[in-house]
Chain A
Amino acid sequence: MRTFCVAIGIATAVAWSSPLLAASIPPPGAAACSGCHAAGAVAASPISRLYGRDAGDIMTAMTGFRDGSLPGTVMTRIAKGFSDDELRAIAAWLAAQK
């Protein structure tokens, strides 16, 4: 009987838990941004904060860096590593962060 209960417990817990994590898992590449672009408030950083920014603005900047129309130092090199779909997912996730 005990064994039976445990088996149900495991099955139920797994079944119910599988679709949900408390916070959204960032799309590939997104979590790396906060190494330079502060997630929290950092005083007087010359590097823009991206959390909560408009997704369209982030997308415009990244595609600009990627095609060279927007000058930069390191972002011009990093943006070239991402497709439109990847950038859209990253921009949407960053925009949704507080």
Chain B
Amino acid sequence: MGINHRMSRREFVGAGAAAVTALAFPLPAFAQAAARVVVIGGGFGGASCARALKQIEPKLQVTLVEPNRTFTACPFSNNVIAGLRSLEEQQFGYDKIAAGGVTVVAQAATAVDAKARTVGLADGTSLAYDRLVLSPGVDLRFEALPGYDEAAAAKMPHAWKAGEQTLLLRKQLEAMDDGGLVVIAAPANPFRCPPGPYERACLIAHYLKTKKPRSKLIILDAKDTFSKQRLFQNAWKELYPGMIEWVSLSQGGKVNSVDPATNTLITDFGNHTAQVANVIPPQRAGRIATIAGATDNTGWCAIDPLTFESKSAPNIHVIGDACIAGSMPKSAFSANSQAKACASAVATLIAGRAPEAPKLINTCYSLAAPGYGFSVAGVYQPKNGLFADVEGAGGVSPADVPRDFRAREADYAQSWFATITAEVFG
């Protein structure tokens, strides 16, 4: 026992038992039996990773730390806002994950000691780990938008974390008079779900067209370009002529502050007073990532794309919306794809081997209306320390295709949601 490696009593007992076991009966997998992986965050990234770890190596002790007993999924939550779906259809529990051998701890993680390799929980207890996976999603940067805070969000919902906020925006739209103005404030990159604000505009417009056809929707954008832009703009013209106005950054679309008392959004070019204001603020990695020392000055987590290990916090891996994944967008599909590759890398590292370079896929569907869908897809591999697009692959749905192509993609979108939520939670 050198100075450099002090073993805990638990590790000592484990290793001693290994010596006996290995000599008497050389079963191979003892190193994994002792290994503890803690995963923080029970969304598409964390829950997928915990499950995948257990599938790859059942002897791993896998603990999933997630304070909520019910997960509310963001994909398809724009349909809830538009009255096309219930919030309950977005909700999933952790019972099946627990039944598969993952220890689910319904506590908030409040501390990480990267040196001692422990996670502190809200109830004062702690968990020891050999490797930690962080999948904390995003935190909203309320301080980045003057006038906007949690109280303001009760008046001007972000609805960028599915749940009460989703229902609040839905109720506001229902209460709005015909002829009202809806404003969506979209943030600069990077943020969770890049096509999300524009799909939301479509589905709100679908509701307005059906129930309140004299109403208007303005998107105030802090960007000059956005995901699937041509497909969305074509759909706006085709499906909702004259109803949706997009104000880009260079046209003065960036919202500099908000006044919740009057439901006003303030830009350099003027004020917009809305009947319904959906303010999507800038974001950063979930707070536990900063506590763990895994965020950089951007507020996001730099990782080694081979292993998802943090560039600043050893033995801590970061997946999903919180990590800087180069060309990969912050989506549920990306998080799930990263989670499975991260599980392979973590299990391989624990087995004392070098992980193979991963290859990842993302597919994001958006709905412009019921039965009208399109997608963006990408294939990614590590390059210069980030995930880069594999050249020649990926891209968006074609612009000029018959409506049955859009209908098929809308079907595939529904099917994707059913499949991925079954894989992660079912």
Contact = CB atoms under 8 A, between A and B. Distances in A.
Interface of A: 2-3, 5-6, 8-10, 12-14, 16-23, 25-29, 31-40, 42, 45-47, 73-74, 77-82, 86
Contacts of A40: 422-423, 426
Contacts of A45: 415, 418-419
Interface string B1-40: 1000001000010011111101100111111100000000
Contacts of B7: 6
B15 A9 contact: yes
B84 interface: no
Given A6-B7, A31-B52, A77-B395, A21 B1 contact: no
Interface in B274-308: none
Contacts of B381: 28
Given A12-B19, A13-B30, A42 B418 contact: yes
Best-surrounded residue of A16, A32, A33, A36 (most CB of chain B within 10 A): A32
Given A20-B29, A23-B55, A82-B379, A13 B18 contact: yes
Given A6-B1, A17-B32, A40-B422, A73 B375 contact: yes
B57 interface: yes
B250 to A, nearest CB: 30
A18 to B, nearest CB: 5
Contacts of B415: 36, 42, 45-47
Contact of B336 (A12, A20, A35, A74): A35
B12 to A, nearest CB: 6
Given A12-B19, A21-B56, A29-B359, A36 B419 contact: yes
Interface stretch (B146-154, B182-190, B194-202, B403-411): B403-411
B352 A14 contact: yes
Nearest to A20: B28
A21 B409 contact: no
Interface of B: 1, 7, 12, 15-20, 22-23, 26-32, 52, 55-59, 333, 336-337, 340-341, 344, 347-348, 351-353, 356-361, 363, 375, 377-379, 381, 390, 392-395, 397, 405, 408-409, 411-412, 415-416, 418-420, 422-423, 426
For chain A, what secondary structure do more than half of its interface residues adopt (helix, strand, loop), or is it mixed? loop
The 9 closest A-B pairs by CB, nearest first: A81-B379, A81-B393, A9-B19, A12-B22, A28-B359, A31-B340, A32-B361, A29-B359, A81-B390
Nearest to A4: B19
Contact of B28 (A17, A27, A86): A17
A44 to B, nearest CB: 9
A73 B405 CA distance: 7
Nearest to A37: B419
20 contacts: A9-B16, A17-B28, A17-B32, A17-B351, A21-B32, A25-B56, A25-B347, A28-B357, A32-B337, A34-B340, A34-B419, A35-B419, A37-B419, A40-B426, A47-B412, A73-B375, A73-B397, A74-B412, A78-B379, A81-B359
